[in-house]
Amino acid sequence: MQTVDQPSIIRLFRVTRRYGAQKALDDISLEIPANAFVFVTGPSGAGKSTLLKLLYLGLPSSEGQVIVDGMNLARMNRHRVPMLRRRIGIIFQDYKLISTRSVHQNVALVLEAAGTPHRAIAAKVNSVLRTVGMEARRDALPPSLSGGEQQRVAVARALVGEPRILLADEPTGSLDSASAAVVMDLILRFHQRGGTVLVATHDHHLIRSVPARVIHLVGGRLAENPETETAGDPLPAASNP
Amino acid sequence: MHLQMRKALQDMHNNRFLNAVTVVTIALAVMIVGAFSLFVINAGDLLNTWRQGIRLMVYLDEGLSQKGRTELEGRLRQMPEIETLQFISKDEAMHRLRSQMSRHAALLDGLAQNPLPEAYEVEVRQGLERQVEPLAQRIEQIDGVEEIAYGKQWIQRFGGLVELLRIIGYALTGLFSAAAVFFVANTIRLILYSRREEVEIMRLVGASERFIRTPFYIQALLQGAIGGLTGIGILYLAYLFTAGDMAATLGGFGFSFRFLPWTAVAGAVICAMVVGWLGCFTSLRQFIASS
């Protein structure tokens, strides 16, 4: 599924990230072309989540350069961080939905923050909720939803702003296999429409389910044989929501 | 802005108790400071009324001749501070005293002779009321003047009291403003900490700091406006209840008890809103620094 000779949308050059004296990422350099589907994998503590956080400036790098969609994050003024994040959709393992806001309001928040006109927000949110199969639950509060439903709302929130890049940190980590298949299907559809996807996971079933490039991290460094390709063997029970 | 206003109102509704405490604090602060201002303004008016009506009684020497009195009157008429000048003969003075004593006037019947001195009643020109003291000193130097009487000490004491109350008013304004800022800051801080995760999520999905902060500022400004208007409203009701009695008591001095001018009312509400804004600014700055 990867397009060849695409310009890089993500570049890391000798990136290190420290937590105190400990290096969570050590001297990482890599390039990810636009429209790529990439898994970042490795054991717990390998630096997968840290790598993703560097890309949306959830954390700054300690050393090196991180360039995302043409923006050099090391030199980025903090006032421009929201602009970066509006170009990136993020999916978290723990969903990170606002529990006091309805499904519709959670998804609409992205567009409200971007200053989208009120009428356009309603239309877009309804459309994306239909896509993820959550239109009927639009007024529900997140705590009343199952884990799979919450993650579908999180996917809807990540996609509604039409980002160029989708970052997913263990997106199926808390889900049963059926819900995981639905979520991966939604992520794949985003990729098929031209989006760049980075999924951090240690779930080998998930990695084998999609034809993708795989980056291996071990102890914060790229593994000796850092990259492989998977052929794509869809997860069971994947069906359109 | 519509969205931000809705969010601010929603927050106020969700945190009704905290907001009510803050609004009541601001209202109390405005009310107390307003009451002081009301008193100081009216006391100042009263003082001015008394100053405007100030009259000097220039008592003449017992043995002053007609010629001496004419010369004295001539000199008094040349003084620019004097608006009107009226001669009070011994008989006129006695007549006035009898009128003032009314029922007790019979006590004066037993007097063998009229002990009251002749005098001039001097009215000071408007706008020159503060020149009364130097004027009195100059008149006292003229030959034939026995003594001068006017409500000098009383006016000075009252003026001093008004000035003292004005200073206390400034101190109270500072004290209550600081208390109100503290309350608003704590309300916003508690709301912020209860919504810490929400704020973090908003940041993750690309919300700017301005987008996140605006509802809090709107909320604080609304708290200030509602508190300010409530405080002024209660003060106005208290004024309506007492104005009648005050008018009856002080009306005889040609003085009318008035409420704060609209500029002061607007100023009080704006100050209350500024207090709200400051409280919000303080807590947001701390919150941003800690997150």
pLDDT of residue B39: 85
B51 Cβ partners below 8 Å, 6+ apart?
B129, B130, B132, B155
Which run of H or E residues covers position A89?
A: strand A88-91
Which DSSP letter does residue A174 get? Answer: T
**What would the pLDDT profile of A38-70 be if each residue is shown by its tens digit?**
999 999 889 999 999 999 999 999 999 999 999
- pTM for the model stands at 0.70
B289 Cβ partners below 8 Å, 6+ apart?
none
Mutate: best of B5, B13, B202, B205, partner A, most A CBs <10 A: B205
pLDDT above 50: residue A178? yes
Q: Note whether A190 contacts B: Cβ–Cβ < 8 A.
A: no
Which chain A residue shows the shortest CA-CA distance from B1? A115
How many beta-carbon pairs below 8 A join chains A and B? Answer: 50
Sign of torsion over alpha carbons B196, A89, A235, A138: positive
Q: Note whether B203 contacts A: Cβ–Cβ < 8 A.
A: yes
Nearest to A110 among B2, B198, B206 (CB): B206
Q: Which residues of B touch A110 (CB under 8 A)?
A: 205-206
Instruction: For each of the domains in chain B, give its residue range(s) and CATH number, in order of start.
Output: 2-50+155-290 (no CATH), 55-150 (3.30.70.3040)
Residue in the block written with tokens 């008035």: B258
pLDDT of residue A4: 47
Q: Note whether A114 contacts B: Cβ–Cβ < 8 A.
A: yes
**What would the pLDDT profile of B120-160 be if each residue is shown by its tens digit?**
988 888 777 677 778 888 888 888 888 888 766 677 777 78
Give the whole-angstrom CA distance, residue A69 versus residue A73: 10
Which chain A residue shows the shortest CA-CA distance from B200? A96
A3: confidence class by pLDDT, cuts 50, 70, 90: very low
Chain A: give the shortest CA distance to residue B212, in Å.
9
Q: Which of B30, B92, B60 is nearest to B232 (CA)?
A: B30
Give the whole-angstrom CA distance, residue B268 versus residue B36: 12
Rg for chain A, CA atoms, rounded: 17
